[in-house]
Structures are given as C-alpha cells and as structure tokens.
C-alpha cells in the first residue's frame, strides 16, 4: 500500500476546494487498501467508478469557481481536468483487462493529485484571493 494521507501541503486555502480534495485522498486511499487486500474486480471497478464520478463533480465545482472569479487560466485548467478524465478512463480499462494492477492505478491517481493541487490549484486560489481582495465596484 502506498502512504496516502492528507497533508497540509495539499491545502490550497479555499475551504470548499480543500474539503473536496480531502474526499479525493480518501477515495484514492480506499483503492490502495483494496488493492492490497486483492479485492474482487467488481468491487474495485465500483470504487474506480466512484472516483471518476467524484472527479467529474469536483472539476465542475472548481471550474464554476474559476468562472465566478474570472480566472484567466480557465481554459488551460479545464483542459487539464479533461485530460485527467480521459487518462483515468484509459487506466481503468487497463486494470479491467488485466493489463495493469490496481495499485499502479492508485499510484497514478495520487501522483497526479499531488502535482495538480500543489501547482495548478494553488495558482487558482491565488487568483481567488486577488479577486476577493479587489474593492467592490
């Protein structure tokens, strides 16, 4: 099992985004634990479906925040989200066809999550803070 736990380095400083990111970490941890338990494929596929559906929800949520604050990197960030959903689907198919182990998929998700939150999402939160600090017109 990989050591997947919430770490303050993943906090971006926006309460809603941080709360949603905590759920992501919990889901990825659940997949890693089930991989170590050699869970039935049906259970693993249901967990992966939960991750995909949660990712779709979270990305729409985050993108709505971007639109609310006029985030200038919206398209780039949205494309990164779309890329992840495509890649996640690909990785799930590899697992389903026995071409890759479940633990490898958990590693991919956690690595992507850690990189995305500490780079792309941090830029977003800086933009949110600037928007909130601007005087109301």
> Rg of the chain over CA atoms, in angstroms?
16
Residue 6 has pLDDT above 90, yes or no: no
pTM over 0.95: no
Cα three-residue angle 33-37-39, rounded to 5 degrees: 100
Domains of the chain: 18-129 (1.20.120.50)
Note the pLDDT tens digit of each residue in 33-83.
999 999 999 999 999 999 999 999 999 999 999 998 899 999 999 999 999
Residue 95 CB burial class (10 angstroms; 0-12, 13-18, ≥19): buried
Give the lowest-confidence range in 22-31, 59-68, 109-118. 109-118
At residue 10, the pLDDT reads 84
Find out whether 25 and 4 touch, Cβ atoms under 8 Å: yes
Secondary-structure percent of the chain, ordered helix, strand, coil, rounded to 5: 80, 0, 20
C-alpha distance across the termini of the chain, in Å: 52
Are 71 and 124 within 8 A, CB to CB? yes
């Amino acid at each position: 099992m990989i050591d997947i736990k919430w770490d303050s380095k993943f906090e971006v400083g926006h309460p809603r985004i941080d709360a949603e990111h905590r759920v992501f970490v919990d889901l990825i941890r659940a997949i890693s634990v089930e991989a170590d338990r050699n869970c039935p494929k049906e259970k693993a596929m249901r967990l992966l479906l939960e991750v995909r559906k949660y990712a779709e929800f979270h990305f729409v949520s985050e993108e709505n925040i971007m639109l609310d604050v006029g985030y200038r990197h919206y398209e780039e960030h949205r494309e990164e989200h779309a890329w992840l959903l495509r890649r996640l689907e690909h990785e799930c198919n590899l697992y389903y066809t026995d071409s890759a182990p479940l633990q490898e998929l958990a590693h991919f998700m956690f690595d992507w999550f850690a990189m995305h939150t500490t780079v792309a999402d941090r830029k977003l939160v800086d933009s949110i803070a600037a928007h909130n600090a601007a005087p109301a017109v």
